[in-house]
């Protein structure tokens, strides 16, 4: 997992509408990159709804927010439409970026060992360095927790 102070690993992914995003092209703007396991599941829905609720506050501060999961663009479209989400969701169907960020982990699901995405958030400063890492996120209240980081520190 990349550490605070390190340059955030660069990547290129597409969002729900097929628009391509390259992290390094966003230099000059702070970025919140949150990784989540699966569209339309309870914790992931709470997290996405809260980021959507707060998206204007992030935008006022010049902060770009992205969610990343293994879900397809089609799945993201359904998820966004169902809940009226207001932020781009990036598709990492082969988990390449998830692995690059050290978040492809063994989990226990209904007593079985499975591989899946660890819920985590990376706050990336405008210069591309990782400002803060949240390795084990609790969805409820996480968006406000991230906004407090930006209120407390100069970017």
For 36-94, strand residue ranges (E) read 64-69, 89-91
β 112-117/104-109 pair status: antiparallel
Catalytic residue among 8, 32, 44, 65: 44
Backbone angles phi, psi at 16, to 5 degrees: -60, -25
The 8-class DSSP code of residue 9 comes to P
Of 142, 143, 126, the closest CA to residue 7 belongs to 126
CA 144 to chain centre: 14
The tokens for 71 are 């879900």
Inter-CA distances, 36 with 25, 40, 121, 154, Å: 23, 11, 9, 27
- Can 77 be counted among the known catalytic residues? no
Q: Catalytic residue numbers?
A: 44
């Amino acid at each position: 997992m990349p550490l605070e102070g390190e340059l955030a690993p660069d990547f290129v992914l597409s969002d729900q509408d097929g628009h391509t995003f390259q992290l390094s092209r966003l230099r000059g703007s702070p970025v919140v990159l949150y990784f989540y396991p699966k569209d339309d599941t309870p914790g992931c829905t709470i997290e996405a709804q809260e980021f959507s609720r707060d998206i204007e506050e992030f935008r006022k501060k010049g902060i770009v927010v992205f969610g990343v999961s293994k879900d397809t663009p089609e799945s993201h479209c359904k998820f966004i439409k169902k809940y009226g989400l207001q932020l781009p969701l990036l598709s990492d169907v082969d988990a390449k970026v998830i692995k690059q960020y050290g978040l492809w982990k063994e989990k226990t699901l209904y007593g079985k060992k499975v591989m899946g995405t660890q819920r985590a958030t990376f706050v990336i400063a405008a210069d591309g360095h990782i400002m803060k890492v949240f390795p084990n996120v609790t969805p409820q209240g996480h968006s406000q927790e991230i906004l407090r980081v930006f209120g407390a520190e100069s970017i």
